[in-house]
Amino acid sequence: MPLRPPAGFISANYDPLKNPDAPTGVSASGGDASASVSFTAPANVGGSAITAYYAVSNPSQITVSGTSSPITVTGLTNDTAYTFQVWALNSFGPGPFSAASGSVTPQARGIFAGGETSVNVIEYISISTTGNSTDFGDLTQGRNTLGGIASSTRGLFGGGNAPAATYSNVIDYITISSAGNAIDFGDLTVGRFRISNTGCGSSTRGVWGGGDNGSYLNTIDYVTIATVGNATDFGDLTAAVSTVAGCSSTTRGIFGGGMTPTRVNTIDYITIASAGNATYFGDLLYAPNFLSACSSSTRGLFAGGFTVALGAVNNINYVTIASTGNAIDFGDLSQVTTGLTACSSPTRGVFGGGQTTGSVNVNTISYVTIATTGNTLDFGDLLSARNNLAACSNCHGGL
């Protein structure tokens, strides 16, 4: 990579004695076909204020500008290693390139965590590449029937059933691109398990709905994903319900199925940016609890679960998130499964774990193309067979 930025940035006012110094401390974290590049502004800005910073990838020299740290570089190729350099520009011209960041590999990454019997394992997959999962680290406490949400950089897991706290209020977080153990984030507004096994959210806000703390709950909590702290009350679901599943578009979160004194097929929705009570959306084709959900930015999928009439089921339903109405048949899971979980990229939905007929836990991972109705295909295996786990990804429909 050159020592100086392109000559096109050198104007008639160019004065190398008045250019800014190079930024320092450049680091990067990978996302889905993207990277967030952080840096420290130079102490010497030169003869005038810095007007822009430019982050440049190597390979490919993809260049993105910003006015401050961090800068998000998009258009990268997943599963390819990149380093980044940053330079600053003022009215007298461009400064030199910084030292290169460490290497990062963008990836559409799905995370699976916890499960029966109160395990603390976290593992990950590359959603775009079929194969077995890889160990990521551990939750702060082993628990099951917890719920997962995520931004493009951070994954959170809240609530659940833990040996030391049947109705856990713990929220953990991880940096999705960097394997390691989870860190304490804060607390839910009320301790509970059987919280939605796939929460919903946008790029900034994560939302959990329902649950059980000895009685069924209609509670909806939210957090600002980038800021550690306790959850805040959002509003209420249309009914008190546990083992509901959730997914989202960039603006709307939807919750489907679950259990009141009886199992329900109700779908609710919220506007993620605006706290308030949920509104009726429509109905699933069947009334399950312990189901899973995932989404693209337009379509939500609900899969599996347990019904009174059929026991564990393999059905997949879908809805168009922007349009209220009843769910439509999508296809089938490869096996009847309850207590499974799901995550997604903009194009692919992935289902993992669960329990089949006869109370047999499985380590199966399967996937569908969200835009195309049909049955699931084999993806690979989790590290262990378990049910009532949670999942999230850095590229789900809410991002």
The pLDDT, as a whole number, for residue 8 is 61
User: Do 149 and 11 belong to one domain?
Assistant: no
Non-local CB neighbours of 12 within 8 Å, separated by 6+ positions? none
Of 36, 61, 94, the residue that ends a domain is 94
User: Do 255 and 290 belong to one domain?
Assistant: yes
C-beta atoms surrounding 323 within 10 Å:
9
The pLDDT, as a whole number, for residue 319 is 98
The pLDDT, as a whole number, for residue 166 is 87
User: Do 50 and 179 belong to one domain?
Assistant: no
The pLDDT, as a whole number, for residue 332 is 98
Residues 340 and 351 sit within 8 Å (Cβ to Cβ): yes
Helix (H) or strand (E) holding 137: strand 134-138
User: Do 256 and 344 belong to one domain?
Assistant: yes
User: Do 66 and 141 belong to one domain?
Assistant: no
Which parts of the chain register pLDDT below 50?
1-2
Q: Is residue 101 part of a domain?
A: no
The pLDDT, as a whole number, for residue 163 is 83
Q: Is residue 169 part of a domain?
A: yes
Q: Is residue 22 part of a domain?
A: yes
The pLDDT, as a whole number, for residue 6 is 61
The pLDDT, as a whole number, for residue 308 is 83
Which CATH number goes with the domain that contains 278? 2.120.10.80
Looking at the 3D structure of the chain, how many domains does it have? 2
> What is the amino acid identity at position 328?
I
> What is the amino acid identity at position 371?
A
User: Do 294 and 372 belong to one domain?
Assistant: yes
**Maximum CA pair distance of the chain?**
79
Instruction: Name the residue range of residue 192's domain.
Output: 109-393
Q: Is residue 99 part of a domain?
A: no
What is the rounded distance in angstroms from the CA atom of residue 281 to the CA atom of residue 266?
8
Of 35, 67, 94, the residue that ends a domain is 94
Nearest alpha-carbon partner for 74 in 28, 111, 126, 7: 28
User: Do 82 and 116 belong to one domain?
Assistant: no
C-beta atoms surrounding 65 within 10 Å:
11
C-beta atoms surrounding 42 within 10 Å:
20
Q: Is residue 217 part of a domain?
A: yes
Please report, for residues 27, 186, 226, 334, the alpha-carbon distance to residue 154 in angstroms, rounded to integers and kept in the order given: 16, 14, 7, 30
Of 94, 127, 157, the residue that ends a domain is 94
Q: Is residue 195 part of a domain?
A: yes
What is the rounded distance in angstroms from the CA atom of residue 299 to the CA atom of residue 320?
5
Which CATH number goes with the domain that contains 72? 2.60.40.10
Residues 243 and 267 sit within 8 Å (Cβ to Cβ): no
- Our CA angle for 174, 30, 72, nearest 5°, is 110
C-beta atoms surrounding 64 within 10 Å:
18
pTM (predicted TM-score): 0.90
pLDDT by residue (tens digit) across 96-142?
Answer: 999 999 999 999 999 999 999 889 999 999 999 999 999 999 999 99
User: Do 155 and 88 belong to one domain?
Assistant: no
Residues 208 and 199 sit within 8 Å (Cβ to Cβ): yes
- Our CA angle for 349, 184, 230, nearest 5°, is 90
The pLDDT, as a whole number, for residue 17 is 86
What is the rounded distance in angstroms from the CA atom of residue 324 to the CA atom of residue 315?
20
The pLDDT, as a whole number, for residue 118 is 82
